[in-house]
Structure 1
């Protein structure tokens, strides 16, 4: 029944569209009345949804731009006003304190701070700031994790860096040293002129062998040993076919 009514209305509208034209004019007049506010039930929510979607797209674009701003040149972030305002003259790990249960801090850092889409509470100094990117050319960042006195890399228990980022740090530091961006610190040893090649007994020169022309035995104790006659007889019996 409902389908037949819809078909009848469509055919009626197709045959005489002039009947529905005054209704549209009255609707437009109702919208212009000063005392009433006409709200379209279809266009208003759609417009709001489009506006919210556009705002979300803009926020996502700004976030992606902020993350990729220092991706190609990560060393520019350490010279930016954003970094100075956030860290000042301190290192990125100076003010880091890890949340832990109990009064005794853990002896090892986390394996990683970001596992899939989940981020741990209070991540490490590198994982918490997406603009801090480990690169072998980012010398100012790598120098913050190297002791200026010994030239050794700080232990992760001191800096709080997770194991995953510490592995990247060690690889970047070794690559930077191979490329000449970071210096090698080799301890200085004064050379006294003495030849240390054969001064120790373990690496000294081999003494000459003992002479056998004097008639003495090679080992001093060999002449004093008297073999057991029974054992000698057993050996001779076993190897009788091979003895001459």
Structure 2
């Protein structure tokens, strides 16, 4: 075995020298490692070969399997995003609470900013502590994803929650608003119409101010007013005096 190793080392040195002479600019690093090549017969070792039963191979196969399942679930939820809210993964992660429960944006001081950030993802960069929608890639806004849209609508007034309450960025808030309006137009969400009590007095036309104009009085010199209720009004003398004093220069003498 030692002569065989010496022959291998000599052959490798010869090949290295020939290549170094042909392309000195490319193989310049070989000059640095030439002393290591001289000691190759004493330290030459073959790399270990792992079988499929090795723990490293099993761990790699499990990681590949998990990545394949994640890609498959993501593609399935893109076509039918409402299935994610019924999956076991969503229930274990959020339970029965809305997705923004317990979310708090990173900010300086104890007073949160008046507006949320414009967007959480810019190109390939994701900001720190993204909003409740941007942090979960399986949550997709769609007008048929009713269970998700209902979380952002007040059950009392039917109005969309302000982003300062939910922590959603302005980009996702805009998409949420458009999806809610589209869902209402398609009939997936009901319209919240406030109840107004009907009072007949507000809609009656029996009052003199909204009724038919009465005929003119028989004579304008009789001192009768056009409307009956106008003659019952008595102006305040102090207010009349103030008006006369203010417009004294414009009043006719």
Cα gap change, 1:198 to 1:154, in 2 (>3 Å): same
Select the structure that is richer in helix.
2
Q: Give 5+ residue unaligned stretches, structure 2.
A: 1-43, 50-56, 223-250
2:84 matched to 1:77? Answer: yes
2:207 matched to 1:207? Answer: no
Cα gap change, 1:206 to 1:183, in 2 (>3 Å): same
Instruction: Please identify runs of 4+ aligned residues in structure 1 that moved more than 6 A.
Output: 54-60, 211-216
Q: 1:99 aligns with which of 106, 119, 131?
A: 106
In the other structure, the counterpart of 1:156 is 163
Q: 1:191 aligns with which of 189, 192, 198?
A: 198
In the other structure, the counterpart of 2:246 is none
Cα gap change, 1:214 to 1:84, in 2 (>3 Å): closer
Alpha-carbon deviation of 1:141?
0.5
Alpha-carbon deviation of 1:146?
0.9
Tell me the number of residue pairs that the alignment of Structure 1 and Structure 2 aligns. Answer: 173
Alpha-carbon deviation of 1:58?
7.6
Q: In structure 2, what is the Cα distance between the partners aligned to 1:199 and 1:80?
A: 63
Q: Give 5+ residue unaligned stretches, structure 1.
A: 1-36, 45-50, 217-223, 227-244
2:105 matched to 1:135? Answer: no
Q: In structure 2, what is the Cα distance between the partners aligned to 1:80 and 1:57?
A: 22
In the other structure, the counterpart of 2:182 is 175
Across the aligned residues of Structure 1 and Structure 2, the Cα RMSD in angstroms comes to: 3.8
Alpha-carbon deviation of 1:194?
4.5
If the length of structure 2 is used for normalisation, what is the TM-score?
0.57
Q: 1:117 aligns with which of 103, 124, 138?
A: 124
- Helix, strand or coil: the match of 1:171? helix
In the other structure, the counterpart of 1:65 is 72
Cα gap change, 1:123 to 1:199, in 2 (>3 Å): farther
Q: In structure 1, what is the Cα distance between the partners aligned to 2:100 and 2:121?
A: 18
- Helix, strand or coil: the match of 2:78? coil
Please say which structure displays the higher CA radius of gyration: 1
If the length of structure 1 is used for normalisation, what is the TM-score?
0.59
Alpha-carbon deviation of 1:187?
1.7
Cα gap change, 1:144 to 1:205, in 2 (>3 Å): same
Q: In structure 1, what is the Cα distance between the partners aligned to 2:206 and 2:220?
A: 31
